[in-house]
Structures are given as structure tokens and as C-alpha cells.
Chains A and B, each alone.
Chain A
Amino acid sequence: MIGAILQVVLVVAGAPLLVGLMRQVRARMEGRAGAGVLQPWRDLRKLLRKEAINPHGTGWVFRLAPLLLAATALVVTAVVPLVTTASPLDGVADLFAVTALLALGSVALALGGLDTGTAFGGMGASREVTVLALVEPTILLSVFALSVRVGSTNLGAIVTSTVNDPLAVISPVSALAAVTLAVVIIAETGRIPVDNPSTHLELTMIHEAMVLEYAGPDLALIEWASAIRLTVLLGLLGSLFAPWGIAAAGAGPVALLVAVLALAVKVGVLGALLAAGEVFMAKLRLFRIPELLAGSFLMALLAVAASFFLA
């Protein structure tokens, strides 16, 4: 219980810091000074002080979308084993459920974009659901590959079994599954090469086009929820494939502290790697993205086949 609360607080507070870290790494590698790791928190504070906007012609769906996005992000945070494997929400801690909740958040945002009635909102929503539809097979097959060894799709069970048997990570199945999950995370969180989070050109946007009309506290919620999703997904990647340091059920305060530190380090390293990779890649054309996702689907299929034939 304490572990779960700690996890939520840590992620909620640290997600903007992660985004700041990634931007800082990118800036340094591009030869700029960067705005500092705390800049996203300053942006959130600024946005919270502004007034919210109700564009003409929008309705309750537009107002509900940021709330639903943030709510799903919070639930997922409490469920995924980042600091501790014992979640109080064990009935929800299923990998299928987590991916479905994340999809619900994306759907809420897409509907918010459609509710504006602008061409950009519709465009963003259309592209977002295209990417979402094509990413689903990869996600579920990676979950399948991970669960074959353990015999369950429960997140706690998968992480615990990896903790008990660390060498099982060094297998073709795990390697393939890790790569496919990395591609999935990039697609779900809208990073380069699928989507550029810092673009200003509307016609190249996927995620940003949906949130073009939001301002003030709504926009703060959305940015923050997106940061939480990125943090949680990177943390999940770390927990599934490098679960060292994670606290088991009923661990003492020292173990929890160690787990917190380990989480921060793992997520920081993964974020920095991702940001560094983004410096060297360009965003793909929209119609090249299905090829990327088809490639990751093939790798996930190979992972599952390998898990059957090598088991």
C-alpha cells in the first residue's frame, strides 16, 4: 500500500522532470544551452494560472477529454509495478487491462479533437486512431510473448518471475519482446519517428493537432498526463526487462527507498537514450508508419513463435 502511494506520488511529481531531462539532453546534443530540467514544471504552473477556453461549438466531450486522459493515466500509474510488485489494485494489474486503459485515454483525446469541428482536430484524431489500430496487434502479441513463460498476464506475476530468474531476460524471446515494446512505446507516446512532439507545423502533427484548441488548466492536464504516460511506459519497460531493485510485497522502508532510486535511475537512463536517439532520427512520413508498425508486428510474432518452440 505504501509502495503504491509512493509510486503514484513519484510518477506524478517526476513525470514533468523526465520530460525536462529529455529536452535538456536533446538540447545539449544539439549544441544549445537548454531551458533546464525544471522547465516543464514552470510551464505547468503558468498554464494553471491561465483561463480555460470554451471554443464556439464544442460540447461536453471537449471538456471531458482531458479529464479522462488524466484519469486513465493515474489509474495506470497506480497499477503498473514500478516501485513495488504488490499493487492494491491487483484486479486491474493485468497487462491487457493496462493497454486498454491507455487506449481509452487516446480515444478520449481523439474525440475531444473531433468535437472541435476543425479540420486539424479531425486530422489529428484520424491519424491517431490509425496509429492506435496498427499498434494494437504488436502490443497484444508482445504481452502474449511475455506471458507464455510465466503462464499469466498479471503484471506483478511477470515482474516477480523475472526477479526470481534474472537470466531469463537474456533470451531471444525477451530481446525481441523488448525491441517491439520499445517501438510500441514510441508509437503510443508520440515520439520521433512516429510523431514530433515539438513541431509547429499543423499538417505534420498527430498528437498536437488534437490538442490545438486546449488552453490553460486543460492544456496543463493534457501535457502532464502525456508526461505521466511516457514515464509509466518507460518504467514498465524497465520493470519488465530489468526489474532489479524493485521491492517485493511487504518490503520495509529501506527496500522501498532503494526501489524509488532504482526507478528514477532506470527511467532517467531510458529517457536519455530515447532523447539521444531522437537527435539522430527524423520523423517518418505518415504512410511509412504502417511499415514500421508491421515490422514490429512481425518481430512480436517471431517472439511468440520463439517462446513456443524454445520453451
Chain B
Amino acid sequence: MTGIVTDAAMSTTLITSVPGTGSAVTGLADPAGAAGASFVLALALCLAAALVALVLPGRIRPAAAGALTAAAGAAAVVAGVRAVAGETWSAWLPDLLPLLGVRLGLDPLGGVFLAVTGAVAVCAAIYGIGYTRHGLSGRGVQAALPLFVAAMLLVPAAASVSTFLVAWELMAIASLLLVVAEHHKRAAVGEAGLWYAVMTHLGFAVILAGLAALAAVSGGDAFDRIREATPSAAAANLIFLATFAGFASKAGIVPLHVWLPRAHPEAPSQVSALMSAAMVNMGVYGVVRVGLDLLGGGPAWWWLLVLAAGALSALYGILQAVVASDLKRLLGHSTTENMGLVLIGVGAAGFFAASGSRVLAALALVAALLHVINHAAFKTLLFLAAGSVLHATGTRDLDALGGLRERMPYTTGLFALGALAASALPPGNGFVSEWLLLQSLVNSLPEGGVAHAVTMPLAVGVIALSAGLAIATFVKAFGVGFLARPRGEGAANAHESPPTMLGGMLLAGAACVALALAPTLLLPGLARAVSGVVGGTGDPVTVAGAATLRLEGIASTISPLLIAAWLVAALVLVLALPRLFAARRARRAARLWDCGAGPMTARMEYTATSFAEPLGRVFDDVLEPESDIDVTPLKESAYLVERVRFHARVPDRIERRLYEPVLAGFAVAGRAATRLANGSVHRYLAYGFYALTGALILLAVLT
């Protein structure tokens, strides 16, 4: 890395904070801006939580660490909100990292992700107090969670390449420790950890290559320096492709998503929530920061690639979720789908910016960021509720659940709220961001050309299909998992969760409701975040009247509050009217219709597998389900059958077709390479000797 310049002159710590008015305060004194102070407080609280977790005895460890982490999350939310409101902050710590120093900076875009991470951390930490009380209260796990949160807070605040990479790797290591927390209970956890470790480090290697190349061609490590530099087109292409591959892997984009449905189910539930609702956002943040901000936009084909990857992930993810019968795996695949939708928005934004329409680009990016926020809220809620179910029943298998609405009423209600939000139906919060995304895509672009005319309808079709399939998925998850009667012993003996777990879920649910009814509160901040990245003047989305979203330049409006209010009014009307006209009779309990063939058992209910079977059949070319039949004959005679067993599963087709051949190839190469190691120590030493003498001879010849 010959091009990196080290700011060796400044050996003191330089902190500047810029409140909205623009005055700068420089020096060693305490930063005057609340954004910086809250951010530093959040980091300090995370470290304190980790220390507390290492020091305190087992009984109070979860409560203390959880409370401190929740406080850190709250401080991060405050910091993020302040940053979005325009208070930027930066810090330069040259001695912390040898050679390159640590550069931190908060701007509105980073503030959005900071606030989201903080909010998710609050819910997950409070939930974790109750969840980890039995079995997960070890020192390692309790200390790793605050460190994971701290690393996730550092990533959006990094203002130089080295800081970014260090924070990224810390995030990966901390999350890996948390994913394998329960490895002694199930063998699948170790395997999931292995896949996750390999893929996240391959992603890191690629990001490292890309960002190091970017720093080298820009002649500096700091983001400010990189923004001013203009790399050549070929270099910019390579850098974008490398970083996009790494960031897409982190965000769970197809075909680099295979770690997600393995790691998220096996991790403890609050860790799954943090990973799915906060960590995958960092992939999106990376794409926006590097592609739109640092590289300054780039040609249109980059963003068409992003859009295509997003569309593919959205479809593939939700298809896998529809046929999944493991609750947490279903939610993991749904994360892939939602990140795909976000990348559709980001890709559309970049494409519009490259085609010259800043207004549409700003709108698309605002839609994408709003979807990130909404997804974080409902995915946290869903994962925490799934964790509740796992905690109460001991199983994640939807086929064996059911009938939980009597024994776990709060969890059922909260999961229903999350499912409504996740299926993008009004009055949920997913509907608003999906509406904004669709609006940005359906508006015509004069200079778009053929690319625009072809991609936008396909993108709208993909979003629509994934929205429909999402409805099917969450009807399945909620209806089959929580309603009717219990189909297994675990579900029959379920109990409601302890208050701390309910508290975490309630916070996430409250966030979903607030986002559903009043998304207009976020819009000025999001517009500010977007204008710093995409440019352009004016707000793409403004607020008018009774919490109505009005779009600039496009004559469409929507008012989520109005929809919700009128729905409630209509519900009340519909509830009241029949009472006025109908005869007042008490409701009679009666038998269900079972064709007269005897009492209904829980065995007759539709399971998750049977619910998804029609859709699975419609899409069987894409999913390629596998089934086989094992016939076990009796020991005494091969003609008599003791047992017939039928297996049906839907493997991940990309894993089958893409990853398994690659891994098999590596295995073959490894076995071939064992011939190099024939057991003779002399041979091994001789390899080294030949290498050394060969290198020396080459050196002598060349110089």
C-alpha cells in the first residue's frame, strides 16, 4: 500500500463537533455537541457492560449486562437522531491504531444506521435479560453481546478505511462467538458457525481488497480524501465489484446468502434479532457509502447489477421462506427478501442518479432507508417472539406448534403485529416503505431509455410477487404456528414468557406501531441523509395535512394514519350495526364440521408443510424439492416390510448447484495434495530448502 499517507504530524486527539448552526469547537476539551457525547457514552456503556459481564457472579450477570447494553442502545439512538438532525461530529485518534490512526465521524447517513442499531440493541438487551437466565449466562456470551453492539455502532461512524475495516472485523468476530454460543447443545450450531465464519471472512477479504485499492488510488485513508479523488473508470469498476460482493454477502443477498438461513436459527434469539435487524443493514450501508458517496455514483450498469441482485434475492428469499417449516429459518429467509427489496431501492436510486434525475433518486433512496428502519422494527419483533416460542415450547418446527394463542396470548398478539408489518399490508409499517418504493419505480424517466423501460416493470413485478408470497409466508407462520390446536407436546405445555422478554417485545411492537402511524416524523431526517449522498435540492417526500406523505414532482399521496383511523372507524361501525339489526342472542358453542366422522384431532389440522404445498408445486422448477422413500424390511425376511419412511425436503437450490460442486472440488484438490505429504520429514524440509535456494538464485540472476 504505497499510496497511503500517514498523518504523523498530529499526535494529539482532535475532536470537532458541528451543531446545526455551523460553529466549530476544536481542541482537547469535551465535545460540545450532544451527538458526539451520546456516541462516546454509548461506546463507554458497551465496554462497561462487557466488563461487568466478566466480573460479576452468575445470578446478576444477565440483568446487569443487559441493562447496561440497553442504556448503550438508548444513547446510540440519541446520537443517531442528533446526527440525522444535522449535528455532525468527528474525532481523530492517531495513537489508537498503529500507522493509520482511528478516524470517526457522524453524518446523517451514518446517523440513520446508528439509530436503528441502537434501537434494536435496546429491545434485544432487555429481552436477553430474561432469555439468557438459563443456560446462556456464561461470561463469554454475556461479554460478547455488548462488544458486538459496540462494533455495530462503530461501523457507521467510521470515517476512514482502516477504522471501517477494524470495526467490520470486530463485528464479525463478536457475532461468531455469539452464534456458536450453544454449540454443546446441538451439532448443527457448530456447522452453522463454520459456514458463517468462512463466508464472513471471505467477504471481509474481498472488502479489504476493494477498500485498500480505493485508498491506494486516492492517496489517502480518510473518507474525505477519498471523496475528493477521482479514480480511473477501470479501477472504480473493480473496486465497486469487489466491495459490492463483500457487502452483499453480509446483507444476505443471493447467491452469497447461504450462511444466513444456517446461522440465524442456531444463534440465541436476541442474537438472531441483532444480526437480522442490525447487522445485515451494515451491508446496505456499505453499498450506499462506497458506491454512492465515496465513488460518487458511477455508471448506470453498477446500479442495474445491484437492482438485479436485489430482485433475485427478494424472490428467492421469499420462495424459500414460503416452503420453510422451521420458524427461525423462515424469518432468516424473509430477511434475505427484505434486504433484496432495499437493494432494489438502492439500485434504482443509483440508476436514477446516473441517468440525471436527482428527485427520483432521492425518493428511491428514502424508500430504501425507510424500509431498512421498518424491517429492523418488525424483524426484531418477529425474532424475539420466535425466541419466546422456542423458550416456551422447546421447538422451532411450525409443524409441531399451534394452539399457542391461549397459553401465550401476548406473544401471539405481538407476533400478529409483526406478521402484519412483514407482509406489507396496511396498517402495518412495511406497507408505507413498499408504497414509497413502488412510487419511485412507476414514475417515468424521460432520459431513461430502454434500460429504464425494461427494468422498472420487471422490478415492480418482482416486488409484487415477493409481496404476495410474503403475505402467504406470514399467514402460514402466524396461522399455522399460533392458531388452532397444539400439534405437539411442547406446544401443549407452553407458558407465557417472563416480563423482561415481554418488555423487549413490547418495545419493538411499539416501534412498529409508531412507524406505521407516523412515518412522517422520520421523513425530514431521511431527506437530509439522502441529500448528502445523492445531492439535489428540496425534500423528495414532504408532509402535508393529516400526516399525509406527498411526493415532490409526483402527484401521489398516501396517509397511513388516515387508513388506520378509517379502518378502526369501519370496524367499530361493523361491530355495532349487526347488534342493532340482529336478534340479540348469545353465541353458542358447537362442534366443528368433520364430515360426521368423529371428533376432531389436532392431527387433522393443516401443517406448515401442507399449507405451502400448492405454492411449492407452482414453483417446483425453482425450488427443486427432493423426496425419497426408505423401505426397511424385516430382519427375518426380505419380503416383509418393517417400516417405510418418506423424506421430503426443499434444499437451497443455490447451495446444491453452486456451493456443493465448489466444495467437492476443494475436497478433491485437497485429497490430491495429500500426495505431496508422504510422511517423510525430509521431503517437507526439502520443499523449504528448494524454495529458499530457488529464490536466492532468482535474486542473484535478476539483480
Contacts and interface: CB of A to CB of B under 8 A. Distances in A.
Interface string A83-117: 00000011110101100110110010011001111
Contacts of B467: 136, 140
A309 B406 CA distance: 56
B469 A133 contact: yes
Nearest to B470: A133
Interface in A117-148: 117-123, 125-127, 129-130, 132-141, 143-144, 147-148
Interface in B473-490: 475-476, 478-480, 483-485
Contact of A72 (B424, B463, B475, B567): B567
Interface string B564-605: 001100110111001001110111111111100000101011
A130 B614 contact: yes
B558 A91 contact: yes
Contacts of A31: none
B472 A122 contact: no
A311 to B, nearest CB: 7
Given A59-B406, A118-B593, A309-B453, A92 B571 contact: no
Given A103-B425, A117-B605, A301-B461, A75 B566 contact: yes
B364 to A, nearest CB: 15
Given A92-B562, A96-B435, A129 B471 contact: yes
Nearest to A52: B587
A105 to B, nearest CB: 10
Contacts of B439: 153
B444 A217 contact: no
Contact of A304 (B457, B574, B589): B457
Contact of B614 (A110, A120, A126): A126
Contacts, number: 253
B386 to A, nearest CB: 18
Interface stretch (B30-38, B491-499, B549-557): B549-557
Given A53-B587, A55-B589, A140 B438 contact: yes
B484 A97 contact: no
B618 interface: yes
Contacts of A68: 571
A49 B578 CA distance: 10
Contact of A48 (B485, B566, B582): B582
A200 interface: no
B164 interface: no
A213 to B, nearest CB: 6
B460 A141 contact: yes
A171 interface: no
Nearest to B416: A61
A56 B425 contact: no
A90 B557 contact: yes
B475 A121 contact: no
Interface string B442-458: 11100000001110011
A241 interface: no
Contact of B457 (A101, A144, A157, A220): A144
Interface string A132-170: 111111111101100110011110010000000000000
Contacts of B699: none
B600 A117 contact: yes
B445 to A, nearest CB: 10
Contacts of A116: 484, 592
A114 B468 contact: no
Nearest to A77: B570
A91 B565 CA distance: 12
A25 B617 CA distance: 37
A265 to B, nearest CB: 28
Contacts of A67: 571, 574-575
A110 B475 contact: yes
A106 to B, nearest CB: 9
A101 B570 CA distance: 13
Nearest to A303: B457
Interface string B116-134: 0000000000000000000
Contacts of A143: 442
A157 B554 CA distance: 12
Contacts of A284: none
B88 interface: no
Contacts of A177: none
A100 B613 contact: no
A89 B602 CA distance: 45
B589 A54 contact: yes
Contacts of B574: 67, 70-71, 74, 221
B613 A217 contact: no
A contact patch SS? helix
Contacts of B478: 111
Given A126-B611, A301-B457, A48 B578 contact: yes
A78 interface: yes
Contacts of A133: 465, 468-469, 471-472, 615
B444 A91 contact: no
Contacts of B615: 129-130, 133
A297 B566 CA distance: 32
A304 B457 CA distance: 7
Nearest to B555: A152
Given A75-B566, A120-B593, A92 B559 contact: yes
B556 A100 contact: no
B594 A118 contact: yes
Contacts of B578: 48, 217, 220-221
A136 B468 contact: yes
B267 to A, nearest CB: 29
Interface centre among B545, B592, B605, B611 (most CB of A within 10 A): B592
B543 to A, nearest CB: 11
A61 B413 CA distance: 10
A287 interface: yes
Interface centre among B442, B558, B581, B583 (most CB of A within 10 A): B442
Contacts of A53: 587-590
A129 B582 contact: no
A57 B604 contact: no
B178 to A, nearest CB: 34
A110 B589 CA distance: 21
Given A51-B586, A55-B591, A100 B614 contact: no
Given A54-B588, A56-B591, A75-B570, A140 B464 contact: yes
B162 interface: no
Given A118-B604, A120-B593, A74 B573 contact: yes
Contacts of B469: 133
Given A136-B464, A139-B464, A114 B426 contact: no
Contacts of B457: 141, 144, 301, 304-305, 308
Nearest to B619: A290
Interface string B430-444: 010001001100111
A257 interface: no
Contacts of A137: 461, 464-465, 468
A302 B588 CA distance: 53
Contacts of B554: 151-152
Contacts of B570: 70-72, 74-75
B559 A91 contact: yes
A132 B592 contact: no
5 contacts: A91-B563, A103-B425, A111-B475, A126-B613, A138-B464
Interface of B: 402, 405-406, 423-426, 431, 435, 438-439, 442-444, 452-454, 457-458, 460-461, 463-465, 467-469, 471-472, 475-476, 478-480, 483-485, 545-546, 548, 554-559, 562-563, 566-567, 570-571, 573-575, 578, 581-583, 585-594, 600, 602, 604-606, 610-615, 617-618
Closest 8 CB pairs of A and B: A122-B606, A91-B559, A117-B484, A136-B468, A133-B468, A114-B479, A152-B555, A140-B464
